[in-house]
């Protein structure tokens, strides 16, 4: 298998664009490709060199574009193929690479393949999906297995007027395609080839862990905690051995040796040794692999019923998760880094602090940027945008994953008040609010009222215009931090030296260094209060710092709330 030799992403910082919420270019209240093109200079100034753009293909938008109804057409709300071509050429002119988000695991139920499959059980398209007969228990027709889905209790949806069901790992409007069918694999290789010919630089492969299923379709024997008859059992359709071969074939047939970046989104409890095989520099079918392990290290995931005060960053768990992936992978793989994306709340609300807003946003930026790997930030992080803290249940239910969970929580007896406080803390819609560009109405996102619910961040001074003009803003801190990270000298140090953790057992501080001709060190207080840190080095230079002055005496650093340093030390 031929792999990219230059591995350009090792010198880059990526940026995740959620197009619907990035910038409206045609005044209909919805973000689009024209809007994105109009802000490429902003992204260039920020210093990012590649964009992962969440799906832009034709879609009924049941799951915001992750439900594709035509892979060869651009969703008209985002623009046209011509707009995509323009985006590619304008971005490339600015040395920004473009990665499309390609959904290989499922289509929309409105995709013509699925429509044909439903209409004609003897059609070839029927074999692109997974249909199975239900189980008769007494006089009741039950789904073929007790497997749960990520969004709904069962991963089987009954086909009306028949005793068959179709499989969906996510929403019921998103039937999984059957990757054990060679024809399906061929069709997806052709789709990728089409966009490579158009000039895209890579793909983020969505939900790729789930391509291979346990085709024996036997019940899971995991314990059914909520007693609804279904259990989410990752072993049935996540990270199964066949996945490697499917991706290997995809790489070969779609890329045909061309230098195109493949990043897999691999959740489903993937272990570092599995990730390592998939992203191996020489033999892995992918180049980079997003795992989920450092996203929810604060008890926020599924935290319905908890109070806000109970959500506290587990700094040890974070360090442990960064390290176990680093240790397993860095010798043989390149790795991506990220805090959060469009599937999570805002970073500020996850690991940061509303009280120490600027300090925490800067601290989190610095801490991630100088770890081994290719950092990706999610739109709005660079502005310290916040969650949708005034959102209503309806606002949050605009996301299908959340709508399904609201139904389950109500069934389980939670009050709407409990559900709402949970959603304002943890739901995906928190990160899908329009980006705030300036202080004008709707934050300069659109001339008309945005279709998506929006935050008041733009009025509180957290917008691109105000932050551009303020030398101490979060935006300008990001610009400096990214520029330093991309500096060839420091980037080499980060990518090619050993990462060494300092005072590993400190419960509040993340600190690490990279030793080379120069040694650079990061020290971050992850708490909204003051802590102490033993410091046995000599400071040769302070490269980045989010406070004034250094509080150091007798080898003890006093770290103020979310104080963070990038130092050159001896």
Residues with a catalytic annotation lie at: 206, 265
Q: Does 166 engage in binding with ligand GLC (CB under 6 A)?
A: no
User: Among residues 9, 71, 114, 170, which is the contact residue for ligand GLC, using CB under 6 A?
Assistant: 170
> What's the CA gap between 141 and 134, in Å, rounded?
6
Which x/- pattern over 31-70 shows residues binding Ca ion (rule: CB under 5 A)? -x--------------------------------------
For residue 466, the Cα-to-chain-centroid distance in whole angstroms is: 27
Nearer to Ca ion, 24 or 395 (CB): 24
- Contacting residue, 11, 26, 181, 491, with Ca ion by CB under 5 A: 26
180-218 b/e (C-beta count within 10 Å ≥ 16 → b)? eeeebbeebbebbbebbeeebbbbbbbbbbbbbbbeeee
Cα–Cα distance, 503 to 309 (Å, whole number): 27
Q: Residues touching Ca ion: how many (CB under 5 A)?
A: 5
Backbone CA torsion sign across 73, 79, 80, 83: negative
Distance of closest approach, residue 177 Cβ to ligand GLC, in angstroms? 12
Q: Does 51 sit near ligand GLC (CB under 6 A)?
A: no
Pairwise CA distance, residues 360 & 378, whole Å: 16
Say if CB 315 and CB 352 are below 8 A apart. Answer: no
How far, in Å, are 127, 238, 357, 386 from residue 381 at the CA level? 43, 30, 11, 9
19 contact choice in ligand GLC, Ca ion, none (CB below 5 to 8 Å, kind-dependent) = none
Decide: is 103 part of the binding site for ligand GLC (CB under 6 A).
yes
Total residues at the site for ligand GLC (CB under 6 A)?
10
| In the complex, residue closest to ligand GLC by CB | 66
- Return the one option of Ca ion, ligand GLC, none that residue 24 interacts with (CB less than 5 to 8 A, by type): Ca ion
Retrieve residue 10's tokens.
């090792």
Burial class of residue 570 in the structure, from the number of CB atoms within 10 Å of its CB (0-12 exposed, 13-18 middle, 19+ buried)? exposed
Contact status: 63 vs ligand GLC (CB under 6 A): yes
For Ca ion, the closer of residues 20 and 63 by Cβ is 20
Least distance in angstroms from the C-beta of 205 to ligand GLC:
10
Dihedral angle, C-alpha 227, 230, 231, 232, nearest 10 °: -140
What tokens were used for 387?
């969650």
Under rule CB under 6 A, residue 195 binds ligand GLC: no
Pick 262 or 559: Cβ nearer ligand GLC: 262
Residue 207 binding result from ligand GLC, Ca ion, none, given CB thresholds of 5 to 8 Å by partner type: ligand GLC
Nearer to ligand GLC, 187 or 316 (CB): 187
Cα gap 112→187, rounded to integer Å: 13
Q: Would you count residue 343 as binding ligand GLC (CB under 6 A)?
A: yes
Nearer to ligand GLC, 101 or 467 (CB): 101
Q: What residues have CB less than 8 Å from 186, skipping those under 6 apart?
A: 253
The reply to whether 62 sits near ligand GLC by the rule CB under 6 A is no
Q: Taking CB under 6 A as the rule, does residue 176 contact ligand GLC?
A: no
Q: Is the distance from CB of 542 to CB of 534 less than 8 angstroms?
A: no
Q: How far is the CB of 244 from Ca ion (least distance, A)?
A: 40
Footprint on this chain of Ca ion (rule: CB under 5 A): 24, 26, 28, 30, 32
């Amino acid at each position: 298998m031929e792999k990219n030799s230059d591995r350009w992403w090792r010198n880059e910082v990526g940026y995740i664009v959620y197009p619907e919420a990035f910038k409206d270019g045609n005044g209909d209240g919805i973000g689009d490709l024209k809007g994105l093109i109009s802000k490429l200079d902003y992204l260039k100034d920020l210093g990012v060199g590649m964009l992962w753009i969440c799906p832009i293909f034709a879609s009924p938008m049941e799951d915001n574009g992750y439900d594709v109804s035509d892979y060869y057409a651009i969703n008209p709300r985002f623009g046209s193929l011509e707009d995509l071509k323009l985006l590619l050429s304008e971005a490339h002119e600015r040395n920004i690479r473009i990665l499309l988000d390609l959904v290989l695991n499922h289509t929309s139920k409105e995709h013509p393949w699925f429509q044909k499959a439903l209409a004609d059980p003897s059609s070839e398209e029927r074999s692109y999906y997974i249909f199975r007969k239900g189980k008769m228990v007494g006089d009741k027709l039950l789904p073929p297995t007790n497997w749960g889905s990520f969004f709904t209790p069962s991963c089987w949806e009954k086909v009306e007027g028949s005793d068959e069901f179709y499989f969906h790992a996510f929403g019921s409007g998103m039937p999984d395609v059957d990757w054990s069918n060679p024809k399906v694999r061929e069709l997806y290789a052709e789709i990728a080839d089409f966009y490579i010919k158009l000039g895209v630089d890579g793909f983020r492969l969505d939900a790729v862990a789930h391509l291979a299923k346990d085709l024996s379709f036997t019940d899971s024997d995991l314990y059914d905690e909520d007693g609804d008859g279904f259990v989410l059992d990752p072993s049935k359709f996540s990270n199964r051995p066949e996945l490697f071969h499917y991706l290997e074939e995809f790489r070969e047939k779609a890329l045909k040796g061309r230098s195109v970046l493949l990043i897999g989104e691999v959740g489903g409890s993937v272990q570092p040794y599995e990730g390592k095989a998939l992203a191996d520099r020489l033999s892995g079918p992918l180049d980079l692999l997003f795992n989920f392990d450092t996203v929810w290290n604060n008890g926020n995931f599924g935290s319905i019923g908890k109070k806000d005060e109970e959500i506290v960053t587990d700094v040890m768990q974070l360090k442990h998760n960064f390290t176990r992936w680093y240790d397993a992978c860095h010798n043989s793989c390149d790795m991506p880094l990220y805090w959060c994306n469009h599937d999570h709340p805002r970073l500020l609300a996850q690991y940061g602090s509303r009280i120490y807003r600027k300090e925490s946003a800067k601290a989190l930026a610095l801490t991630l940027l100088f770890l081994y790997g290719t950092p990706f930030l999610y739109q709005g992080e660079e502005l310290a945008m916040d969650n949708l803290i005034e959102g209503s249940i309806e606002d949050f239910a605009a996301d299908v994953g959340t709508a399904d969970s609201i139904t389950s929580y109500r069934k389980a007896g939670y009050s709407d008040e409990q559900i709402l406080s949970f959603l304002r803390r943890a739901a995906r819609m928190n990160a899908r609010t329009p980006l705030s560009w300036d202080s004008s109405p709707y934050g300069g996102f659109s001339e008309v009222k945005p279709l998506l619910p929006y935050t008041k961040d733009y009025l509180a001074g957290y917008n691109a215009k105000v932050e551009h003009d303020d030398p101490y803003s979060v935006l300008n801190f990001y610009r400096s931090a990214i520029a330093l990270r991309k500096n060839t000298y420091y980037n080499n140090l980060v990518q090619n030296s050993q990462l060494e953790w300092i005072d590993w057992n400190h419960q509040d501080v993340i600190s690490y260094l990279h030793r080379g001709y120069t040694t650079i060190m990061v020290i971050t207080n992850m708490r909204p209060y003051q802590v102490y840190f033993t410091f046995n080095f000599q400071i040769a230079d302070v490269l980045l710092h989010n406070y004034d002055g250094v509080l150091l005496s007798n080898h003890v650093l006093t770290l103020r709330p979310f104080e963070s340093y990038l130092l050159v030390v001896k």
